Every structure is written in structure tokens, then in C-alpha cells.
């Protein structure tokens, strides 16, 4: 994986003034009453600088003054009517995502710095899923007067951290007001040699179905955070021990995008026949590849990589871990299909797990369980438009 710095601990120490050395103390600032972010958002907070004092242009200058230009393809970044980019003879990939308060995130347990970091990651993940190198992003935000300057600075420090770690330039955006919540929209741009771009379409029968990392953790991390929020409402003095959940909470609050896999595939000289990132759960991503490539799939339950914390937390919540792997979301791993001739190149790699293989379209899409039952794969993943997901 990429450099694994615990930015939530950094955020913590600036909050508590005591360097807190362990994720089990996450609660100290997440759930201590009143929580840091609540204080920050309260009118009586002495550290609160109203954004009106700066004005729109003052705010943009303030937020973007530290962004340096690192990429050759950036001719002009922030500061003109539009950014200017030069990709010469490469293909350009472009992707955009919205994050809306109380639809996609809940500020009672997501620190703003993490939110900024994650907002970048979810976009970069889509660029890497095209087998491209991410190069630039634009960041658009809509904020209400509930947010002081200090809150937006936190958000931007997460964006800046991600831009540094993933080596991308922030080249523009837009800043406007909203009546209530916070809205963030990030657009990511990337480049690839024309022959290197990998689409969802392209999988062929007999290809291997390959997954990076492990899945289901981000979803279970979210279940823990939601549970702690409810406990906090009933008993604000409760100090939960989150040590047994450190990995899954990190996967939820600070996901990473698999830039390293794009580099690894290049090194191994493997070009997947199809690829997609896992944002909505394994089954819905398998369905994307199968529909667009017009193939079927056989997926083996016993091959799906799960972290032990996912298994133990599923047991605690009385959930089936395979169901969570298939339908949980936000793992930002990559799912790809690879020609059998490349098996020797990928087989020993700890980042890549073969979880099934591609079949003819008329064989359909199936999960083969540990008990050798054959179950059709259906999408139950996150549906952004379902009423369940509106708060």
C-alpha cells in the first residue's frame, strides 16, 4: 500500500493538545462532548473566523496559496479563467464526483480533514481504474455560514495531504454558498498512453477475475462509527475502546486509491483486459464488467480476501461476511480481468488475488459458495438514488 500516515492522529493532537498515540483514543476527539467539530461549527467558538470577513476572492486566495504545481502537463493552475493543460499525444481521462453532507458523509464522526482527503481519493480511484496516471484535480465547494474559515482550512489540509501523497496538482475549482450543508465536487484528470487505457469492456471468456487488497472493511468501519454515534447520544461520557476496529475504521475514514497497482501492472507488463474500481461493492462491479464485456463470471466465495477484523466484526453484528464483501462499498480496490497467459506474472503477488474466472455470457454470473452451491450474483450495492440513503 501507499504511505500509511494516520492523518486522524495528526488531527487529534492539534485538537487535544496532548499527542494521543493510538487509534483507540479516536473517541477522545470524535465523541468527547462537545466534539471538536461541533465546537468549530458553534457560533460561540472563539477561534471562529467568519468567511464573510475574507470575501470570496480572499477565501480562494487563502485556500489555494500553498498549492504548488508539480506536473509537467500543468501549464496554468489556479488564478486565471481556466486551467491550461498540455498532454501532448496522450489520452486524457476525466472523472467527477459529488459529496453531499448527510447523504455521503456525516460530520458528527467524519473529521473535515479526512473528508477532504477522501473526496480526493474517491476520484483518483476512478482514474487508476482506467489504468491511467492521475495528474490534476479541481475542487468545488458550496458552504453555508455554519462553516467558519477554520473548518474549511481543515477540509483543505486533507485535500493538500492527498495531493502531496498522490503527486497531483490542484488546478482550479469554484467556491459558492449553500443554504445549509456542505457540498464538495471534485474532478480528477489523468493521462495514459492510448494503448494502456483499460475499459470495463474487454473481458473475454477464460480470463482470470483478479482483485486487489481486501474488501468489506470500509462498510464495517462505518457500522462501528454509526454505532458509536448512537452510544454517544445516549451516554456522552462513554469512552469506547476502538482498538479491535482500528483497521476497518481507517478503511472508512482514510481510504487509499491504488496508484501502486497501476505502477505494478506496468512493471509486471500486464495489461488487464477490463478493470473497474470497487466503490459500490463487488457484485455490482462484477455486473458492470460482465454487462459491458458481454461475458459471464464464476466467483469463488472461499477466494474472496477478507481481513480478520471484517470477519470478527461481522460476527459481532451477526452479518454474513460474504454478503458484506459483495454488497458493502467504499473499498476503492481494483477489480480486473487478466488473460490466462499472464497468470505466471501475477500469481506470486500479495497485492493480487484470483477470485474467479470469466465465462461465456450464457453461463451467467454466479457465486460458488464454500459448500459448492451455485448462487446468481445480483447487485445490491449502494444505490445513490434510493430513498433509504436520504437522511
Chain contacts with Mg ion (rule: CB under 5 A): 174
Q: Give 239-245 contacts, CB < 8 A, sequence gap 24+.
A: 239/27, 239/28, 239/31, 240/27, 240/31, 241/24, 242/23, 242/24, 242/26, 242/27, 243/22, 243/23, 243/24, 244/309, 244/312, 244/313, 245/220, 245/221, 245/309, 245/313
Cβ 176 to Mg ion, closest distance in Å?
7
Determine, following the binding rule CB under 6 A, whether residue 187 of this chain makes contact with ligand ADP.
no
Cβ distance to Mg ion smaller for residue 52 or 174: 174
Interface with ligand ADP includes 174 (CB under 6 A)? yes
In the complex, least distance from residue 331 CB atom to ligand ADP, rounded to whole angstroms: 28
Phi-psi region of 167 (alpha: psi -120 to 50; beta: other; left: phi over 0): left
Question: What string marks each residue from 118 to 157 as x (binds ligand ADP by CB under 6 A) or -?
Answer: ---------------------x-x----------------
Tell me which of Mg ion, ligand ADP, none is bound by residue 96, counting a contact when its beta carbon lies within the kind-specific cut-off of 5 to 8 angstroms: none
CA 136-137-143 angle, to 5 degrees, is 160
- Report which residue's Cβ sits closest to Mg ion: 174
Q: Which is nearer to ligand ADP, 57 or 376 (CB)?
A: 57
Stretch that binds ligand ADP, among 37-45, 77-85, 257-265, 327-335 (CB under 6 A): 77-85
**Radius of gyration over every alpha carbon of the chain, rounded to an integer in angstroms:** 22
Distance of alpha carbon 52 from alpha carbon 266, whole angstroms: 49
Decide if residue 64 touches ligand ADP (CB under 6 A). Answer: yes
Which of 183, 188, 195, 203 has its CA nearest to residue 126?
Answer: 188
**Residue whose CB is nearest to ligand ADP in the complex, by number:** 172
Question: CB of 183: closest distance to ligand ADP in angstroms?
Answer: 11
Strand partners, 134: 190
Binding to ligand ADP (CB under 6 A) within 226-265 occurs at: none
We find the least distance from the C-beta atom of residue 22 to ligand ADP, in angstroms, to be: 34
Residue with cell 495531493: 163
- Residue selected from 43, 81, 362, 388 as contacting ligand ADP according to rule CB under 6 A: 81
> Minimal CA–CA distance to 263: which of 134, 95, 353, 87?
134
| Between 139 and 168, CB nearer to Mg ion | 139
- The whole-angstrom separation of Cα 234 and Cα 34 is 14
* Smaller CB separation from ligand ADP, 137 or 290: 137
Shortest Cβ distance from residue 140 to ligand ADP (Å)?
A: 6
Evaluated on CA atoms 67, 69, 70, 74, the torsion sign reads positive
Q: How far is the CB of 83 from ligand ADP (least distance, A)?
A: 7
Query: If binding is defined by CB under 6 A, does position 368 make contact with ligand ADP?
Result: no
Burial class of 199 by CB neighbour count within 10 A (0 to 12, 13 to 18, 19+):
middle
Q: Among 5-13, 171-179, 297-305, 311-319, which window interacts with ligand ADP (CB under 6 A)?
A: 171-179
Out of ligand ADP, Mg ion, none, which partner does residue 172 contact, by CB within 5 to 8 A per kind?
A: ligand ADP
- Of 110-118, 167-175, 341-349, 379-387, the window that binds ligand ADP (rule: CB under 6 A) is 167-175
Q: What is the spatial distance between Cα 356 and Cα 369, in angstroms, rounded to a whole number?
A: 12
How many residues sit close enough to ligand ADP to count as binding (CB under 6 A)? 14
When asked if residue 65 is in the footprint of ligand ADP (CB under 6 A), the reply is no
Taking a C-beta distance cutoff of 8 angstroms, is the pair 320, 259 a contact?
Answer: no
CB 249 within 8 A of CB 310: no
Euclidean distance between CA atoms 316 and 314, whole angstroms: 5
Task: Give the chain's length.
Answer: 391
158 lines the binding site for ligand ADP (CB under 6 A):
no
Q: Is 161 in the site for ligand ADP (CB under 6 A)?
A: no
Pairing mode of beta strands 352-359, 208-212 = antiparallel
Binding site for ligand ADP (CB under 6 A): 60, 63-64, 78-81, 139, 141, 170, 172-175
Amino acid at each position: 500500500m501507499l504511505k500509511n500516515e494516520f492523518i486522524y492522529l495528526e488531527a487529534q493532537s492539534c485538537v487535544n493538545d496532548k499527542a494521543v498515540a493510538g487509534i483507540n483514543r479516536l473517541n477522545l476527539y470524535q465523541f468527547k462532548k462537545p466534539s471538536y467539530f461541533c465546537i468549530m461549527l458553534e457560533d460561540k467558538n472563539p477561534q471562529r473566523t467568519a468567511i464573510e470577513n475574507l470575501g470570496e476572492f480572499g477565501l480562494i486566495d487563502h485556500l489555494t496559496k500553498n498549492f504548488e504545481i508539480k506536473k509537467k502537463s500543468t501549464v496554468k493552475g489556479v488564478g486565471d479563467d481556466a486551467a491550461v493543460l498540455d498532454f501532448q499525444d496522450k489520452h486524457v481521462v476525466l472523472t467527477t464526483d459529488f459529496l453531499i453532507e448527510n447523504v455521503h458523509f456525516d460530520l458528527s464522526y467524519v473529521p473535515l480533514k479526512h473528508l477532504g482527503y477522501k473526496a480526493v481519493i474517491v476520484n483518483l480511484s476512478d482514474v487508476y481504474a482506467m489504468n491511467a496516471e492521475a495528474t490534476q484535480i479541481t475542487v468545488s465547494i458550496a458552504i453555508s455560514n455554519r462553516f467558519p474559515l477554520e473548518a474549511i482550512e481543515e477540509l483543505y489540509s486533507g485535500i493538500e495531504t492527498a495531493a502531496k501523497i498522490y503527486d497531483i496538482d490542484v488546478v482550479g475549482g469554484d467556491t459558492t454558498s449553500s443554504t445549509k450543508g456542505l457540498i464538495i465536487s471534485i474532478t480528477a484528470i489523468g493521462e495514459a498512453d492510448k494503448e494502456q487505457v483499460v475499459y470495463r469492456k474487454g473481458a473475454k471468456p477464460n480470463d482470470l477475475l483478479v482483485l486487489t487488497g481486501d474488501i468489506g472493511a470500509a462498510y464495517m468501519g462505518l457500522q462501528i462509527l454509526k454505532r458509536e454515534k448512537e452510544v454517544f447520544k445516549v451516554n456522552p461520557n462513554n469512552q469506547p475502546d476502538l482498538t479491535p476496529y482500528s483497521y476497518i475504521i481507517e478503511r472508512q475514514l482514510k481510504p487509499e486509491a491504488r496508484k501502486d497497482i497501476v505502477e505494478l501492472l506496468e512493471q509486471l507488463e500486464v495489461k488487464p483486459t477490463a478493470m473497474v474500481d470497487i466503490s459500490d461493492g463487488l457484485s455490482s462491479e462484477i455486473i458492470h464488467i460482465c454487462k459491458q464485456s458481454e461475458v459471464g463470471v464464476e466467483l469463488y466465495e472461499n477466494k474472496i480476501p477478507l481481513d480478520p477484523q471484517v470477519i470478527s466484526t461481522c460476527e459481532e453484528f451477526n452479518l454474513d461476511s460474504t454478503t458484506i464483501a459483495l454488497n458493502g462499498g467504499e473499498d476503492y480496490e481494483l477489480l480486473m480481468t487478466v488473460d490466462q497467459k499472464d497468470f505466471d506474472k501475477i500469481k506470486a503477488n500479495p497485492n493480487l488475488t484470483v477470485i474467479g474466472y470469466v465465462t461465456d455470457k450464457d453461463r451467467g454470473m454466479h457465486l460458488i459458495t464454500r459448500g459448492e452451491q451455485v448462487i446468481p450474483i445480483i447487485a445490491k450495492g449502494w444505490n445513490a438514488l434510493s430513498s433509504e440513503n436520504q437522511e
